Structure 1
Amino acid sequence: MTWRKGPYKNYSGKAQMSSILIFASMATLMSFLPISLPNLPPHPALAATTKPFSVPSSDRKMRVPYELKRGQNRLFHELPSGLSMEVIEQKGAEIDGITREPPLVFIHGSYHAAWCWGEHWLPLFSSRGFDCYALSLLGQGESDVPPGSVAGTLQTHAADVADFISRNLSVPPVLLGHSFGGLIVQCYLANAKTKQNSEAQDLFPEVAGAVLVCSVPPSGNSGLVWRYLFTKPIAAFKVTRSLAAKAFQTSVPLCKETFFSLEMEDQLVERYQVLMKESSQMSLFDLRKLNASLPVPSIPKSSVPVLVLGAEDDFIVDAKGLEETGNFYGVSPVCIGGVAHDMMLDCSWEKGAEAIVSWLRKEHL
C-alpha cells in the first residue's frame, strides 16, 4: 500500500476610581477585548477519521517549552499560502462495542496555542475514543508567523481551520473553541455547508457540532466593555492592565485572577504564564477591524448542534455575555461552577470536559 503525500509536515516529538482612570481604561480596553514517506502503511486508527498525511521529522526548532504528553504527536499542516500551522494530535483509544466517534478539532484563544488543550483535555477525550486535533493559529505557538502586524482576520483564521479539515479529515468533526477561538468557530459555522444550507461555500466543510467554551459573544466586546466599566470599574482596570498591557506575563497574582481559580497552585500558574508569554508571536486580530465586522451571521437554529459552555468564575466573559451567545444559537448555556476562564487548564479542568462528553453522547455525536 502506498502512503499518499498529504499537507502535513510532521515534527513529533475597594476604592472608587476617578472618571479619568475609568475612561482611560475604556479607551484601552475597547481597543483590546472582545475580551513523504512512500510505501508506509497507515496506522489502522487513522482510517476512520483522517486522510493520509506525511511523516514525522525532527529538524524544526521549537519556540514554546511544552513537552508533549504520551500518545501525542506534533504535526505541521501546510496551508495554501505555504505557511505551516502547528497541530497537536492524539488518536482515540479503541473501545470495544463503541462506534467510532467523530474527530474533535480544538481552537485556542489569545495568548494560547495548541498546548493548552494538550495538557488535560486531549488525553481525556482520546481515552473516550475521540481522535483529537488541537491547532495553533498562525503567529501562535509553533505555527509560522505571517507577514503584517497581526496574524489574520476572523475570516482568514476560520479559513485556515477549514483548510485543515478539508484536507485531513474524512468525516465531519466537532469544533471546540475557547474565548477568541470560540468566535472563530462561530465564523466557521456561519460559512459552513449544512443539510439546510447546501449552497454554502465548499471551502468550509460540514461539521457535526460545535462547543463554545467561555467564548466571546457573537457581537464581540462592546457589551462586555461597557458593563465592566460602569458596574465593575476596578475589574475593568485589572483586565485592561492584564491583557492590553500584558501585565499577566509578569505578575503571577494577576495571571491567576485573569485566567484561573484562586485555588490554582502558583507553581502551575507560573508554568502556564511562561507558555502563554512564549505562545503569542503577534496579535490574533486587529481588534478595531474585528469589532466592525461583527456580529457574526446567524445560522438556522437546527442546522448544527451547539453547546454553549461558560465558567462561573470567569473574569473575562460575564454571565450576560454567556447568555447572549446561548440566545444567539437558541440554546440554554451551561455554566460550570468552580472553574475560571481557562476551563481546560484550571484545577477543576475535568468538570468542563465531562460536561462536553455528556453533551456529545446526548447529541449522538
Structure 2
Amino acid sequence: MDTIRPTIRTHEPDRTSHGASTFTDLALLVRTRGLMRRRYGYYWTKLIAAPLAVASCLVVFVWIGDSWWQLLTAAVLAVVFTQIAFLGHDAAHRQIFVSGRWNDWISIILGDLLVGMSYGWWQHKHTRHHANPNKLGSDPDIELPVIAVTEESAARHHGRVVTWLRAHQGLFFFPILLFEGLSLHASSVRRVFVRGRLERRWAEITFLTLRMVSYLVLVFLVLSPGIAFAFLGVQLGLFGFYMGIAFAPNHKGMPVVPRDMKLDFLRRQVMMSRNIHGPRFLDVAMGGLNYQIEHHLFPSMPRPHLRRAAPLIAEYCRDRGVPYTTTGLFASYGIVIRYINRVGLGERDVFTCPLIDQRSHI
C-alpha cells in the first residue's frame, strides 16, 4: 500500500485559523490550474448516452423474449444503471451545470426515472456524510443495519442472529451487497412517501412510480414468472453489488472520528478518505469514486479533472504533514474485510486511529 502518513505533532486544528487558511491556499491553487472548469462536452455526451443505453437494452430485452439468455441482459442492465447512478451523483454534486436547478432536475431524471433511486433520499443522506465523514453520531454511512463498522455499533445488544452475523461479517460482507440494490429501491420509496421536508416530492413520486411500475410490467409481460424473477434477482443483485464495491473502499477501515473531536476541513476530508490508484479504466468503472480524497475536498470538481488533481493535492498534503492514503483496489478490499472482521469480533482498539495519536502527542 502506497501511503503518505507522516506523524502529526502540531496544534489541534480547531483552535486556530491555520487549518482554514491551509485549505484556502489549496483551493486557490486548484482553481488556478483550471481544475474546477466545467466539462460540458464530456457530460452532455454521457447525458445523451444514458437514455440511449437504457433504450437499447430494453429493445434487446424484447427482441430476445422469454429466454434464460435474459440473465445476460440483466447483468448488462445492472452495469448501465450503476453507471447512470454515478452520473446522477455527479449532477447532485453540481459537477455538470452552473445552475443548481438544472443539476437537481438532471439528478431526479437520472436517479428516479431511469435508475429507480430517490434523489431526495440520496441527497439527505449523502450531504451528512460529506459534512462529517466517519464521525460518530454524524455520518450515516457508518451506521449500517447489519454490518458493524465501529466499536460503538458492534457493542450494542442485538439478537442472536445479528450477533452471529457480525462476528463473521467479514465473510458475509460481499454476499450482503447483493441485497443492496433492493435496499436502495426500498429506501427511496420509503423516503418519498414519509412526512418530512422533500423538495419536488410529487415529481419524485411520479418518476419513481412510472419507472418501477413500467419496468415490472415489461418484465412480466415479456418473461414467464420463473425467468422474470430470476431476471430481477440478477439485475438487482448485481446492481447492488456493483454499487457496493464502488463505495466500500472509500472510508471503511479509515480513522473513526470521536463525537467530541473537531478538525479543520482539510484534515477532516483527507484523513478519513482513501484513494484507489489504477488505470484510466478504473476511473470509468468506479465513476470517479476512486479519487475519494479529491472528491471530498472539492465535491463540485468535474469527474475528468480528478485524476489531474490527485498528484497536486497529494504533494500539497505531504508538504503540510497531512496523511494522504492511496492503495490498490484489491488491497483496499482486504483492508475493509480485515477491519470489519476485527470490529465484529469485538476486539478493542480495532484501528489505531492517527487522530488519537495526534492528540496524544500534543
Q: Does the TM-score normalized on the shorter chain lie above 0.5? A: no
Quick check: which one's strand share is greater? 1
Higher relative CO (Cα under 8 Å, sequence separation at least 6) belongs to: 2
**TM-score of the aligned structures, taking structure 1 as reference length:** 0.24
**TM-score of the aligned structures, taking structure 2 as reference length:** 0.24
Quick check: which one's helix share is greater? 2
Rg: which structure is higher?
A: 2
